[in-house]
């Protein structure tokens, strides 16, 4: 397979998660040609150009824009921020790629929750249902698809912004997860897996990869990892779901679609639906997935650290 053609990366300037931007950076560091599709011409587009990527502006729900972006490309990553038009964009990308007929691989970012979904077992999140339907459509298309199902990101509100706010305030992580377990994954790990598939797709086409962190643990153990990384006490406070929604979620000013999605994610966490553990990150990248402790230690500035963060071993 030729690597001379540019690799199309959609959602490259997305704000939530930021998988696309990470993929662009990784591929460019390997000196691979990249075309990044963005929705808006802004400073994020300029940052992508600074890596040496070609940047095109377009709308993933408009076939003419997707066709223009895909022109001359043989490999594609499909991703998009949480959006009410996610399924429309997925089907549009599939329709364009199918008509082109020369794609070597289409890597689709999905959600690990999809692994537990079926026609008769959905969730209340429209976003998660669209991911499930999007996978069906891509499978029906006959395209050379790879699905990458990631669990909740370490960069997600739960484990970054909201954790940082409460840690800075009183040294706590306040979430309504009870005694349930979770295994958040670093966006960089997800991007490394996808970049590896895009670079050498032959062995991956038709497969589904499920990505988690290296451990599934309850929030008290999670708080211990923050504490060890930051060098100061951090404890978990189990807040009642309704109180947390009123105090934190409703005050976030999120669009309704995103609000509803995160509300369901919180409830699924409380129901222990995020107690999942896989080793696909290590199988693809050759190294263990990044732990919570390692992630926090690398980014102490996000969590208001007042002391020198602890030295983090490669694994434990």
pLDDT digits (tens, 9 = 90+) for 187-218: 999 999 999 999 999 999 999 999 999 999 99
pTM equals 0.94
Q: What is the CA radius of gyration of the chain?
A: 19
The share of the chain scoring above pLDDT 90, in percent, equals: 88
- Span 234-253, mean pLDDT? 96
Grade residue 301 by pLDDT with cuts at 50, 70 and 90. Answer: confident
User: Tokens 């980014």, residue?
Assistant: 299
Give all domains of the chain, ordered by start, each with its CATH number: 7-154+185-211 (3.40.50.720), 161-182+214-274+290-303 (3.90.25.10)
Contact 8/73 with Cβ under 8 angstroms?
Answer: yes
- Span 67-77, mean pLDDT? 97
Tell me how far apart the alpha carbons of residues 313 and 310 are, in angstroms, rounded to a whole number: 9
pLDDT at position 67 over 50: yes
Grade residue 13 by pLDDT with cuts at 50, 70 and 90. Answer: confident
Tell me how far apart the alpha carbons of residues 247 and 189 are, in angstroms, rounded to a whole number: 32
pLDDT at position 17 over 70: no
Tell me how far apart the alpha carbons of residues 186 and 192 are, in angstroms, rounded to a whole number: 10
Geometric angle at alpha carbon 278, from 313 and 166, rounded to 5°? 60
Joined together, the tokens standing for residue 190 give 């997800």
Q: Is 269 exposed, middle or buried (0-12, 13-18, 19+ CB in 10 A)?
A: buried
pLDDT at position 65 over 60: yes
């Amino acid at each position: 397979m030729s690597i001379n053609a540019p690799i199309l990366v959609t959602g490259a300037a997305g704000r939530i998660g930021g998988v696309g931007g990470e993929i662009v950076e990784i591929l460019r560091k390997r000196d691979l040609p990249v075309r990044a599709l963005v929705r808006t011409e802004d400073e994020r587009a300029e940052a992508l150009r600074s890596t040496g990527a070609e940047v095109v502006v377009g709308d993933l729900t408009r076939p003419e824009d997707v066709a223009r972006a895909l022109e001359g490309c043989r490999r594609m990553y499909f991703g998009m921020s949480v959006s009410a038009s996610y399924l429309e964009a997925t089907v549009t990308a599939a329709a364009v790629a199918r008509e082109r007929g020369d794609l070597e691989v289409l890597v689709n970012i999905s959600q690990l929750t999809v692994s537990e979904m079926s026609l008769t077992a959905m969730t209340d999140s429209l976003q998660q249902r669209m991911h499930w339907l999007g996978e069906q459509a891509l499978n029906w298309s006959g395209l050379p698809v790879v699905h990458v199902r990631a669990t909740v990101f370490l960069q997600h509100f739960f484990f970054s912004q909201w954790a940082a706010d409460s840690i800075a305030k009183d040294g706590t992580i306040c979430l309504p997860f009870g005694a349930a377990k979770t295994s958040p994954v670093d966006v960089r790990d997800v991007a490394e897996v996808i970049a590896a598939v895009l670079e050498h797709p032959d062995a991956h086409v038709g497969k589904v990869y499920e990505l988690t962190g290296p451990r599934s643990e309850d929030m008290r153990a999670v708080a211990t990892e923050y504490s060890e990384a930051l060098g100061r006490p951090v404890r978990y406070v189990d807040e009642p779901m309704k109180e947390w929604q009123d105090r934190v979620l409703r005050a976030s000013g999120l669009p309704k679609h995103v609000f509803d999605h995160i509300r369901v994610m919180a409830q699924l966490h409380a129901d222990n639906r995020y107690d999942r553990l896989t080793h696909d990150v290590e199988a693809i990248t050759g190294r263990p997935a990044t732990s919570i402790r390692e992630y926090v230690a690398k980014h102490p500035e996000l969590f208001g650290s007042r002391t020198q963060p602890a030295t983090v071993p490669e694994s434990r």
